[in-house]
Amino acid sequence: MLSTHLTAKVTGMADELVHYEVRRGIATITLDSPHNRNALSSQLRRELKEHLSTAASDDGVRVVVLTHTGSVFCSGMDLKEAAGASAGDQGVNEFPAILEQLWTSPKPVVAALKGPARAGGVGIVAACDISIADAKATFAFSEVRIGVVPAVISVTVLPRLLPRQAHELFLTGETFDAQRAKEIGLLNAATDDVDAEVRRYTDMLALGAPNALAATKEMLQQERSTNLGEVFADMLELSARHFGGPEGQEGITAFKEKRKPSWVPAES
């Protein structure tokens, strides 16, 4: 059931680095650490993880938008913080949990970039369901140029990228623009009006039934058997379950009655 409030903020300290707001079913999570280009410091990682968990568990949230303040979306791991630290203290063990939260979130996640992303920041972009960037934004897998391996982010990035492009960009660390990022599968859109494109996508996503969206995300990420008979059997079971479920029946009834289904947020 949709939340009745228009706006709600998670309370926190004034010096928080990640903000959370819900408005008309859209949870907006904002990275707000411009002093270090929204680098993935321990505090930012902790707060981002908490807000993602809050959004996932809130029945009033239909779509999550991940955005930022400042000129950079995310510059990757906080290298100043990581200097001299052991692998466990560098967020290597913690960051995968954030990428997994984004990848497996039952609510669609839209990344809204008005600036560059690097390294771990690109991993976040890839983990989101829909990613939209300013046409002037740039990207790079810069890890090899500082002597490290883009290992963790490869889990979310490689399923998105064309293999030949992935080899080139991972090995060279070359900076590439938003248009190329779209062409190779990293972005859905490169635009001069990020806000308008984000609204277009969130408006469309809000039309989907919550359980159907979550099940569709899970289906898209499943490994499929090479046995077509088994696959069809599984898909028939999934289809029948949702056809006969409350959402499916409400959607069919709404179609017959020429009205919007009950899950569609009320217009402002």
**pLDDT at position 84, please?**
60
Q: Are 21 and 28 in contact (CB under 8 A)?
A: yes
At residue 50, the 3 state secondary structure works out as: helix
Domain range 7-205, CATH class: alpha beta
Distance CA 46, CA 18 (A): 9
* Catalytic residue status for 143: yes
**pLDDT at position 8, please?**
47
- What's the whole-model pTM score? 0.90
Distance CA 229, CA 174 (A): 44
At residue 243, the 3 state secondary structure works out as: helix
Query: How is the beta sheet containing 117-118 ordered, strand by strand?
Result: 117-118, 138-140, 176-177
**pLDDT by 10s per residue, the chain, length 268:** 333 334 444 445 569 999 999 998 999 999 999 999 999 999 999 999 999 999 999 999 999 999 999 999 999 999 888 766 555 555 567 899 999 999 999 999 999 999 999 999 999 999 999 999 999 999 999 999 999 999 999 999 999 999 999 999 999 999 999 999 999 999 999 999 999 999 999 999 999 999 999 999 999 999 999 999 999 999 999 999 999 999 999 999 999 999 999 999 877 5
**pLDDT at position 117, please?**
98
Distance CA 243, CA 109 (A): 25
**pLDDT at position 93, please?**
74
Strand partners of residue 29: 20, 66
Q: Are 176 and 183 in contact (CB under 8 A)?
A: no
**pLDDT at position 127, please?**
98
Distance CA 230, CA 215 (A): 18
Q: Give residue limits of the domains in the chain.
A: 7-205, 210-256
Strands 130-134 and 109-113: parallel
Distance CA 103, CA 96 (A): 10
Strand partners of residue 191: 134
**pLDDT at position 228, please?**
95
How many Cα atoms occupy the beta-carbon half-sphere of 89 within 13 Å? 8
DSSP 10-39: ----TT-SEEEEEETTEEEEEE--GGGTT-
CB pairs under 8 A, 24+ apart, for 139-143? 139/175, 139/176, 139/177, 139/178, 139/181, 139/186, 140/116, 140/169, 140/173, 140/174, 140/175, 140/176, 141/169, 141/170, 141/173, 142/76, 142/118, 142/173, 143/119, 143/170, 143/173
Strand partners of residue 111: 66, 131
At residue 61, the 3 state secondary structure works out as: coil
Q: Are 142 and 176 in contact (CB under 8 A)?
A: no
Name the active-site residue from 47, 81, 143, 247: 143
